[in-house]
Amino acid sequence: MPFEDMAEAEEQIAKLKRENTGLARKLNDVKHRQADYLAAVWEATTEAIGRIEVAPVPPPVHLVQRGGVERGEEYAVALLSDLQTGKLTPDYNSVVCADRVMRYARRIVRLAEIQRLHHPVRHCVIPMLGDMVEGVDIFPGQQWLIDSTLYDQLFNTTPALLADFVRYLLAHFDTVTVYAVDGNHGRIGRRGQFGPMDNADRMLYRILAMLLRDEPRFQLKMTDPQGERNWYQVMELGSYSALLIHGDQIRGHSGFPWYGLGKKVNGWGSGGIPERFGDVFMGHYHQLGRIPLNQRSVWCNGSTESTNTFASETLAAQSEPSQWLLFVDPDAGRVTASYGVDLRS
């Protein structure tokens, strides 16, 4: 190669190295700005919520406070998911969502009273399976399908609603325990724009715990992996166990992904995750269903929303607002009764 060409090539390489260094510096600055922004928001939120005092709910007078679980006693397990507060459809918005969630709370208590005619039901467990908020920019055009900003969804409407829901149940059960996982609508921005830990559902659960920090009969159980999404956990109630996921891990198209569900659940059950589990609880698909997979049952939860025009046009599917309420025998390790709770008025 002529000397002149070699010199020109070396200059081009040096130029590319300078540009690469500059781009790396800019990327690092952007990452730091995002991290500093999120840290500042969370610090301010923690400080503000820390000044709020919520008095504990008096325990129900007709129940006797005891430790542990009586033999023959069962748990009320109230699945709660896909509220998507902030979502706007022809007959759904944040006000309708709040009305339906509190209607669900009242029906949980009513059905528990029926069960108590036969056996004690002193403890309520709430698997919160994600998509508690709608988000604002996780897909193109979402800004036209919401009635409130992410700020309102995360700091005004949803925390107050969930606190009211839990406090209502605390007035009728000895204890209320929440097991929480993240949904895809909790993602901030488009996929990959922020880290997987930056999920509005995850923040919401922490805010709920702060609001109820003085309530001794409430407990939040949530995994908090560093640098990863809180996508699953295993709930154990005596001999009964269930894998809790949101459900967007199950790939499919044009409806419920039956093949994908069996493949994923069997894979997780055979060592895909380290924990052993029995049943599976999930949301995401807004369809109430129980799918048997050999010795397991997959309980697919509904949603509080209604009249989803996207689902109607794209999937030719609609579902009435509903949530699963199960009663679990911890000694036998099985679900003894299940109610698909209809949340229409």
Q: How far apart are CA 60 and CA 50, in angstroms?
A: 27
- Interatomic CA distance for residues 290 and 300, integer angstroms: 6
Q: Both 96 and 190 in a single domain?
A: yes
User: The domain spanning residue 211 has which CATH number?
Assistant: 3.60.21.10
**Confidence at 61, pLDDT banded by 50, 70, 90:** confident
Residues in the chain: 345
pLDDT band at 21; cut points 50, 70, 90: confident
Domain co-membership, 84 together with 181: yes
The answer to whether residues 131 and 34 belong to one domain is no
166 membership: H or E segment, kind and range: helix 158-170
- Looking at residue 227, its pLDDT comes to 81
Short-list 251, 118, 237, CA closest to 184: 251
- Say yes or no: 47 and 155 in one domain: no
Domain housing 10:
1-51
- Of the listed ranges 85-99, 176-190, 300-314, the least confidently predicted one is 300-314
Residues 303 and 282 in one domain: yes
Name the CA radius of gyration of the chain, rounded: 23
What mean pLDDT do residues 282-310 have?
A: 90
First to last CA, the chain: 83
Distance from chain centroid for Cα 187: 11
Quote the CA–CA distance of 243 and 66 in Å, as a whole number: 28
Could you tell me if 47 and 75 lie in one domain? no
- Count of domains observed in the chain: 2
Q: Which two tokens stand for residue 337?
A: 């009764």
Are 159 and 237 contained in the same domain?
A: yes
Q: Are residues 115 and 157 both part of a single domain?
A: yes
Looking at the structure, tell me whether residues 73 and 165 fall in a common domain: yes
Residues 174, 198 share a domain: yes
Of residues 67 and 282, more confidence is placed in 282
- DSSP 3-state of 240: strand
Q: Looking at the structure, do residues 111 and 207 belong to the same domain, yes or no?
A: yes
Q: pLDDT band for position 65 (50/70/90)?
A: very low
Give the range with max mean pLDDT: 25-29, 121-125, 308-312. 121-125
**Do residues 136 and 38 share a domain?**
no
Give residue 196's pLDDT: 73
Q: What is the pLDDT of residues 115-132, one digit of tens each?
A: 999 999 999 999 999 999
SS3 helix, strand, coil % of the chain, rounded to 5? 40, 20, 40
pLDDT digits (tens, 9 = 90+) for 262-290: 999 999 999 999 999 999 999 999 999 99
| H or E element in which residue 195 lies | none
| Phi and psi angles of residue 134, each rounded to the nearest 5 degrees, phi first | -85, -30
